């Protein structure tokens, strides 16, 4: 395994920083908002590439009367998530090799999430096709990927590419999903935040793998306030979010 894809190590190193990262919090909140448009009591929600469980944790707080499952490549992420949200259920699964198949979820998903995952894989079309087996016909999926500049930390954790709106929609529509809407979110403060990270150069790798300092916590608090003034959709937004439906 290439070190950039060693997610068992990445989750151990970076989980504290990710939990307070304003860009992550912004995504979690936007995903929860859009899930809220479609969720009903007893909906079955699956997070593809559930990481350390942050999306499901927030959804479980807002919509507790539902069933939550996560499929995650790294066992360390599964362990962190399961400890955070004991009433959800997390499985280790490789969604490229499609092994193991989680039989209890086949054809069950009402609402699915794939957040900040597709940029990490060489063959995202294979992964997207493999989502189908876990989704009901007509089920909704919310997909997020980064756009804009790629900083050194993102390269360190295995980003292959950042997407444009057209590229993300084409990937989904060519692999069995009907596009409902794509949002280019985050202008201007997400862009500024990402630009500052890019300007840090190689130093951002150390920033992202260390326990957050008092200074970083203060910077993150400031950006958490500024992020409230981001535009939900504009031609310049560097955070992409697509809502699609399984055909």
Summarised one tens digit per residue, pLDDT across range 194-242 is 999 999 998 887 876 777 788 888 999 999 999 999 999 999 999 999 9
Please give the helix or strand (H or E) that residue 181 lies within, else none: strand 177-185
Residue 4 has pLDDT above 80, yes or no: no
Whether the CB-CB separation of 26 and 190 falls below 8 Å is answered with: yes
Summarised one tens digit per residue, pLDDT across range 147-198 is 999 999 999 889 999 999 999 999 999 999 999 999 999 999 999 999 999 9
Domains of the chain: 3-246 (3.40.50.150)
Residue 61 has pLDDT above 50, yes or no: yes
pTM summary value: 0.93
Whether the CB-CB separation of 189 and 223 falls below 8 Å is answered with: yes
Whether the CB-CB separation of 116 and 145 falls below 8 Å is answered with: yes
Which residue's entry shows tokens 């092994």?
A: 99
For residues 64 and 215, which has the higher predicted lDDT (pLDDT)? 64
Burial group, residue 57, by CB count within 10 angstroms (0-12, 13-18, 19+): middle
Q: How far apart are CA 115 and CA 110, in angstroms?
A: 16
DSSP annotation of 210: S
The alpha carbons of the chain give a radius of gyration, in whole angstroms, of 17
Report how far Cα 203 is from the mean position of its chain's Cα atoms.
24
């Amino acid at each position: 395994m290439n070190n950039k894809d060693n997610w068992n190590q990445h989750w151990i190193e970076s989980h504290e920083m990710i939990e307070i990262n304003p860009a992550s919090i912004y995504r979690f909140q936007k995903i929860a908002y859009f899930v809220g448009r479609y969720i009903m009591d007893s909906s079955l929600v699956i997070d593809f590439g559930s990481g350390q469980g942050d999306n499901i944790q927030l959804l479980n707080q807002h919509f507790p009367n539902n069933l939550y499952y996560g499929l995650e490549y790294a066992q360390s992420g599964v362990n962190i998530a399961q400890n955070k949200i004991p009433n959800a259920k997390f499985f280790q699964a490789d969604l490229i090799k499609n092994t193991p198949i989680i039989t209890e979820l086949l054809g069950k998903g009402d609402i699915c999430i794939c957040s900040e995952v597709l940029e990490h894989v060489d063959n995202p079309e294979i992964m997207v096709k493999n989502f189908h087996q876990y989704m009901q016909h007509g089920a909704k999926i919310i997909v997020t990927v980064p756009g804009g500049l790629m900083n050194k930390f993102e390269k360190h954790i295995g980003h292959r590419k950042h997407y444009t709106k057209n590229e993300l929609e084409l990937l989904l529509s060519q692999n069995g999903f009907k596009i409902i809407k794509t949002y280019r979110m985050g202008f201007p403060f997400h862009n500024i935040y990402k630009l500052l990270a890019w300007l840090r150069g190689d130093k951002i790798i150390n920033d992202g793998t260390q326990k957050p300092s008092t200074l970083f916590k203060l910077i993150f608090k400031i950006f958490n306030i500024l992020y409230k003034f981001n535009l939900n959709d504009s031609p310049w937004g560097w955070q992409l979010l697509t809502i699609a439906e399984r055909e």
